[in-house]
Structure 1
Amino acid sequence: MHRIHRCAAEDCVHAFVDFSRPGTQRYCTYHCANRDAVRRHRATTRTP
């Protein structure tokens, strides 16, 4: 049960089972991970 997590992406509501060896998976899919990385990158590079 300690390997069941919610996706770390803010707009995703899916749960997943973490099959990574160290147990550090944060996202349900690569799509969510990439979308969150793009969102974080755009938040830091915006100029007013």
Structure 2
Amino acid sequence: MSLPQRIFALIDVNNCYVSCERVFNPKLEHRPVVVLSNNGLVFL
């Protein structure tokens, strides 16, 4: 009997925040966007 394999995934959530914000705010398209976080709060 073999041991179960572990699979790890890394997700770039900061990129997701920017992608979602660009859907609702088209002015951000083709512009650099910074994602800052502090204690669970995210600022775009």
- Whose Rg is larger? 2
TM-score normalised by L of structure 1: 0.26
